[in-house]
């Protein structure tokens, strides 16, 4: 077999394995019970701090991990991500002290940061090596379906496992990530990936990417959509607790939250089945603005009422992501150099996290010091997010007319 044939065979194997990598990556069995678990072993303040450690770890490592991927290669970075995730789950299973749980969160943050951007870069570069770049939207959507099916399955099974023993979801996650490690080892480094470098230095291709109008517009949209996607994540659980307060389900907020999360993921999978057809019918700009508009509308409904029926609206949280993220990734990949691809994607994620954290800091100034956030405060915060979102939406809609968004798209 010639070198070119070997490289193509390796890339084709990467493409076949990639959806399964995303599936095992999504088997987070502890997702619906993690806060309750830590509250049962730590103080409330320590449980909150545990999440902060994860968030800070992911944010701090976001850009360095992207640079590592561009310099050392996709395969090794994804192997490191899978191993870090497996070790994190094992530490949480054995546990024992705050220090052990804190180390687990550092590893979990490292796992998320190492995979961020690198997984998508490996897929695109494998498609490019096989001459199959036009499949990028289809392959991203396929991976999206595998990933969110895994999230839905593990959310339900994790809750069932926790009823038997509260550490079992972490053990199940460790086993799933052991499978993820095996898949990552079977990847082949894509030909022409960051490890070999570009014809132009990485800093030049990155600077070009940050000034190219198409990428600037998509960068801005991705950052604000990250923010509006995570607002329901932060305020969803207190919203559910408030909405159920006067119902017979008032004591079942954690259960309702878990079921809501599972339905949310399934709604995302269902939407991805029609997303490509809709994108081809109305165009890239229209479907991206539609997705952003849905995010704003969802938050608007939650700001208008806390009736229990509004909980159903939360199940739509990931629908806008299904209508946008695969297409954004597919559009920006051809514009990026191999030597700066993961760095750009990591920088994009880093800015989204910082922007989100900054708005939460502002939102915290209108929150009370009581243990439970009342709906009046939730309503005020969400109302301001809606107003700001409408302003940003109008600006992006005006600017997109000057951006050749459909150029070179599949």
Residue that is written with structure tokens 């509308």 in the block: 297
Q: What proportion of the chain, given as a percentage, has pLDDT over 90?
A: 37
Residue 35, both tokens? 């806060």
CATH code of the domain in which 387 resides: 1.20.1250.20
Same-domain pairing of 58 and 97: yes
pLDDT band at 266 (very low <50, low <70, confident <90, very high): confident
Kindly state whether residue 225 falls inside one of the protein's structural domains: yes
Same-domain pairing of 147 and 271: no
Same-domain pairing of 220 and 96: no
User: Is residue 265's pLDDT more than 80?
Assistant: yes
User: Is residue 15's pLDDT more than 90?
Assistant: yes
Q: How far is CA 331 from the centre of its chain?
A: 18
Same-domain pairing of 192 and 52: yes
Sign of the C-alpha dihedral computed for residues 225, 229, 234 and 235 taken in this order: positive
Give the mean pLDDT of 358-377: 65
Q: Which residue has the higher pLDDT, 377 or 78?
A: 78
From 308, 237, 22, 49, select the one nearest 143 (Cα to Cα): 22
Burial class (CB in 10 A: 0-12, 13-18, 19+), 355: middle
Q: Output the pLDDT for position 225.
A: 95
Same-domain pairing of 174 and 225: no
User: Is residue 194's pLDDT more than 50?
Assistant: no
Tell me how many degrees the CA angle 118-77-157 measures, rounded to the nearest 5: 80
Residue 107 CB: number of other CB atoms within 10 A?
A: 22
Same-domain pairing of 268 and 143: no
Same-domain pairing of 42 and 191: yes
Question: Any idea which of 93-102, 126-135, 225-234 has the lowest mean pLDDT?
Answer: 225-234
Same-domain pairing of 141 and 259: no
Q: Output the pLDDT for position 382.
A: 86
Give the mean pLDDT of 360-365: 70
Among 140, 162, 196, residue at a domain's last position: 196
User: Is residue 179's pLDDT more than 50?
Assistant: yes
Counting DSSP H helices and E strands in the chain, the numbers are 17, 0
Kindly state whether residue 181 falls inside one of the protein's structural domains: yes
- Structurally, the chain folds into a number of domains equal to 2
């Amino acid at each position: 077999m010639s070198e070119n044939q070997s490289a193509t065979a390796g890339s084709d194997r990467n493409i076949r394995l990639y959806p399964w990598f995303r599936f095992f990556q999504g088997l987070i069995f502890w997702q619906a019970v993690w806060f309750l678990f830590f509250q049962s072993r730590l103080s409330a303040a320590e449980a909150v701090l545990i999440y902060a450690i994860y968030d800070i770890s992911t944010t701090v490592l976001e850009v360095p991990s992207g640079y590592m991927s561009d310099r050392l290669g996709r395969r090794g970075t994804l192997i490191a991500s899978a191993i870090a995730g497996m070790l994190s789950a094992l530490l949480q299973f054995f546990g024992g002290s705050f220090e052990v749980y804190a180390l687990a969160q550092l590893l979990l943050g490292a796992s998320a940061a190492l995979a961020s951007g690198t997984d998508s870069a490996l897929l695109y570069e494998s498609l490019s090596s096989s001459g199959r770049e036009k499949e990028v939207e289809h392959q991203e959507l396929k991976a999206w379906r595998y990933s969110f099916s895994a999230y839905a399955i593990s959310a339900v099974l994790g809750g069932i496992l926790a009823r038997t023993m509260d550490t079992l979801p972490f053990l199940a996650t460790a086993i799933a990530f052991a499978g993820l490690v095996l898949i990552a080892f079977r990847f082949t480094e894509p030909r022409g990936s960051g490890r070999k470098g570009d014809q132009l230095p990485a800093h030049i291709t990155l600077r070009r990417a940050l000034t190219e109008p198409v990428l600037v517009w998509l960068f801005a949209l991705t950052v604000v959509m990250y923010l509006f996607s995570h607002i329901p994540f932060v305020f969803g659980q207190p919203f559910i607790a408030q909405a159920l307060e006067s119902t017979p389900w008032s004591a079942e907020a954690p259960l309702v939250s878990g079921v809501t999360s599972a339905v949310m993921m399934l709604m995302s999978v269902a939407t991805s089945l029609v997303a490509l057809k809709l994108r081809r019918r109305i165009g890239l700009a229209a479907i991206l603005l539609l997705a952003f508009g849905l995010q704003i509308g969802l938050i608007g409904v939650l700001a208008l009422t806390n009736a229990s029926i509004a909980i159903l609206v939360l199940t739509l949280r990931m629908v806008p992501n299904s209508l946008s993220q695969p297409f954004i990734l597919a559009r920006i990949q051809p514009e990026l150099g191999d030597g700066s691809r993961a760095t750009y994607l990591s920088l994009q994620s880093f800015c989204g996290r910082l922007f989100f954290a900054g708005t939460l800091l502002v939102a915290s100034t209108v929150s009370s010091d009581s243990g439970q956030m009342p709906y009046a405060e939730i309503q005020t915060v969400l109302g301001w997010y809606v107003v700001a979102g409408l302003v940003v939406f109008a600006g992006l809609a005006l600017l997109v007319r000057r951006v050749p968004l459909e150029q070179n798209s599949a």
